[in-house]
Amino acid sequence: MKEIDELKFPEDVYYSKDHEWARKEGGLVTVGISDYAQDQLGDIVFVELPEKGSKLEQGEEFGSVESVKAVSELFMPVAGEVVEINGGLEDSPELVNNEPYDGGWMLKVKPAGADAFDKLMDRGAYLAMLKG
């Protein structure tokens, strides 16, 4: 496992206490897991995601990630409707390890409200939480 200062935490994403991230992209929100989360999990071998059209609440379980170490549940950082899933993860789940904020994204969601990011942390707050 890497030290926290060796991991990437982009400024343009918001983070949940469960280590998912959310990025505003036009009228949609892209969702994935943080570099810290993928590093803690180890080599990811399978990603289970919801169906397109699923409507999920903030904090609701939306899938799971299986690594060589364990299976971990995924929790929605924002409420909304799933409009796209990253089909590339079916054949290449390692993208979550290699590119957690780019090719390893998981969902695109139409947010349920304008307050979607109110309960999430910016980069500084997330780093402070990780450093305890």
pLDDT in tens, 23-81: 999 999 999 999 999 999 999 999 999 999 999 999 999 999 999 989 999 999 999 99
Asked whether residue 127 is domain-assigned, the answer is no
pLDDT score at 112: 95
Rounded mean pLDDT of the chain? 96
Residues 6+ apart with CB under 8 A from 5: none
Longest CA–CA span in the chain (Å) reads 38
Instruction: Using the predicted structure, report yes or no on whether residue 114 has a pLDDT greater than 90.
Output: no
Q: Which residues span the domain enclosing 20? A: 4-116
Q: Do 66 and 44 touch, CB atoms closer than 8 A?
A: yes
44-51, Cβ contacts within 8 angstroms, sequence gap of 24 or more: 44/93, 44/94, 44/96, 44/97, 45/93, 46/93, 47/89, 47/90, 47/93, 47/96, 47/106, 49/85, 49/86, 49/89, 49/106, 49/107, 50/82, 50/85, 50/107, 51/82, 51/85
Asked whether residue 18 is domain-assigned, the answer is yes
pLDDT score at 101: 98
pLDDT score at 109: 98
What residue type is 120 in one-letter code? L
Q: Do 89 and 96 touch, CB atoms closer than 8 A?
A: yes
Asked whether residue 126 is domain-assigned, the answer is no
Asked whether residue 44 is domain-assigned, the answer is yes
Instruction: Using the predicted structure, report yes or no on whether residue 82 has a pLDDT greater than 90.
Output: yes
Asked whether residue 129 is domain-assigned, the answer is no
Asked whether residue 38 is domain-assigned, the answer is yes
Asked whether residue 46 is domain-assigned, the answer is yes
Asked whether residue 128 is domain-assigned, the answer is no
pLDDT score at 116: 87
Number of domains in the chain: 1
The CATH number covering residue 101 comes to 2.40.50.100
